[in-house]
Structure 1
């Protein structure tokens, strides 16, 4: 098996599209008014599924966390410690909720956390060198 992408089940599709596209720079692959939205970031597929549409498709209902969601995180990497601080300031000014301001951790990473409009955690971090896959 190969990882194809990562998806979130969302209640406010327009707000989530605007956040991931306009604030974090994800590329949208189709019209904003579709039931499932495909976004791309650095070659990785990222999906937003409308909760009610997903429940209809799978014939199941699900429970959803309200508020800050500590079940997963989306990690974004920048090349320098200064970029962690710059991106944190930029995206919180654009509406991301601050969870943890930038800190340099004992293991040498500078990192911070914000939340998207539905409370999903997003980490922005760096080890002070260009990203290596």
Structure 2
């Protein structure tokens, strides 16, 4: 078994599609009224699935947090410390919620946090060198 991608269950599909496409640059081909949307970022599959349709499919009700939530983060990497600052400012200017301004951490990373329109945390960080797997 191998990891294929990850996804979010969302309340407002159109708003979330526009955020990930227009603010963070994810590739998408579906319309804003789609039930299940596949986005790609740097070769990684990222899915958005409308909550009400998932509940209908599974015949269950789920609880969802409102506002900022700390259940997980989506981590985005840039090659330089300067890019952390640039991408943070760009995302906030396009409507992302600022959570943590760019900060130098004791472990050598420069990092910041924003949130998407439904409160999911997104980290933008760098160790001031190109990404290595």
Question: What's the TM-score, normalizing by structure 1?
Answer: 0.98
CA RMSD of aligned residues (A): 0.7
Q: How many correspondences in the alignment?
A: 133
Gaps of 5+ in 2: none
The 5-angstrom pairing of residues 34-73 of structure 1 reads 34-73=34-73
Cα distance in 2 for partners of 1:123, 1:84 equals 10
Structure 1 residue 4: Cα displacement: 1.0
1:86 alignment partner in structure 2: 86
Cα distance in 2 for partners of 1:30, 1:132 equals 31
Deviations 1:37-62 (A, max 9, x none): 10000110000010000000111110
Structure 1 residue runs of 4 or more that deviate by more than 6 Å after TM superposition: none
Cα distance in 2 for partners of 1:83, 1:77 equals 9
1:16 alignment partner in structure 2: 16
1:127 aligned to 2:127?
yes
Cα distance in 1 for partners of 2:32, 2:12 equals 12
SS of residue paired to 1:111? strand
Gaps of 5+ in 1: none
Q: Which moved more, 1:23-32 or 1:104-113?
A: 23-32
Cα distance in 1 for partners of 2:61, 2:43 equals 31
1:32 alignment partner in structure 2: 32
- Kept in 1, the 8 Å contact 2:13–2:34? The answer is no
Structure 1 residue 63: Cα displacement: 0.2
- Kept in 1, the 8 Å contact 2:84–2:112? The answer is yes
